[in-house]
Amino acid sequence: MPWFLKLMTHILVLAAALCASRGFANDDGLAHIKKVGKILVAVDTTYPPMEMEGDNGKPAGFDVDLAKELGKRLGVSVEFVVMPWDGIIAGLAAKRYDIICSAMNITAERSKQVEFVPYLKLAQVYIAKKGTAGVTKEQELAGRVVGVQADTTSSEYVEKVKKGGVAVKDMKAFKGATDVFAALRAGQVDAIVIDEPVARYYVMRDPAFFQITGRALAPEAIGIATRKKELKLQKELMLHIEAMRTDGTMTKLQTAYFGGELGKI
């Protein structure tokens, strides 16, 4: 065999061994997940009721229960990796975990970095203190201090409204959703723009203080994020999500956490 063919053969063997040792042979993490019997799931626990810290200090919430159900259907255990929102996609790219299941809106920009398996549609809504004249449409953001979670669809929406000519007094971006609602309670902001399930959660917990006053954006899809090219994993997750819609599991989870199906505001 010519020397260059021998060299190429050695290179290919080494490359295959490296991929296999990292558990991502053939650009697909599904075989690795099944082999080790565990799926690593990233969540940002500052976004109740989608993801939050439970009474036992462990991740809890809608997405956590969804991921556990997916683990059962995949036949593997589930381990959660708590990540800050601003680094969660980078962690996936670095292979610190297998998927992100953390109420991530599907956007064109994010779709350049990851693939999505859609599972819910969420509206963006306005929140105000009960008894005040809340925002019902974007023009009414004028003259108000608006609270959002940083690097989210909500923050992008407010920035777009400002560029469109609405004189928003100020937009204050906070690291977590819990911080956004704390700011409204403390009088640091006049209104909040946030995902519908998070809004429902806080209104259900304290209806005497918080109220939903209108819809900012029509329901948009959120999805489980996987690395690009992991087609087998994406297909398997998609099949299980569809089965959960068909057998009523998805409706049951929504009712438990939101008091009904989302996207009706």
* Residues 175-223 pLDDT 10s: 888 899 999 999 999 999 999 999 998 998 899 999 999 999 999 899 9
What's the pTM? Answer: 0.75
User: Are 127 and 183 contacting, i.e. CB atoms less than 8 angstroms apart?
Assistant: no
Residue 28, pLDDT score? 74
Residue 6, pLDDT score? 46
Total Cβ atoms within 10 A of residue 94? 9
In CATH terms, the superfamily for domain 3-122+221-258 is Periplasmic binding protein-like II (3.40.190.10)
Residue 1, pLDDT score? 46
* H helices present in the chain, as ranges: 3-22, 30-36, 62-74, 88-93, 108-111, 153-163, 177-185, 196-205, 231-246, 249-258
In CATH terms, the superfamily for domain 123-220 is Periplasmic binding protein-like II (3.40.190.10)
User: Are 90 and 19 contacting, i.e. CB atoms less than 8 angstroms apart?
Assistant: no
Residue 260, pLDDT score? 80
Q: What average pLDDT does this structure show over 7-28?
A: 44
The mean of the pLDDT values for the chain is 89
Residue 27, pLDDT score? 54
Residue 115 contacts by C-beta under 8 Å, 6 or more apart in sequence?
Answer: 225, 226, 227, 228, 229, 230, 234
Residue 47, pLDDT score? 86
Banded pLDDT at 109 (limits 50, 70, 90): very high
Residue 264, pLDDT score? 67
CATH 3.40.190.10 location in the chain: 3-122+221-258, 123-220
Residue 265, pLDDT score? 63
Which tens digit of pLDDT belongs to each residue from 153-162? 899 999 999 9
Is 83 exposed, middle or buried, given 0-12, 13-18 or 19+ CB atoms closer than 10 A? buried
DSSP at 230: -
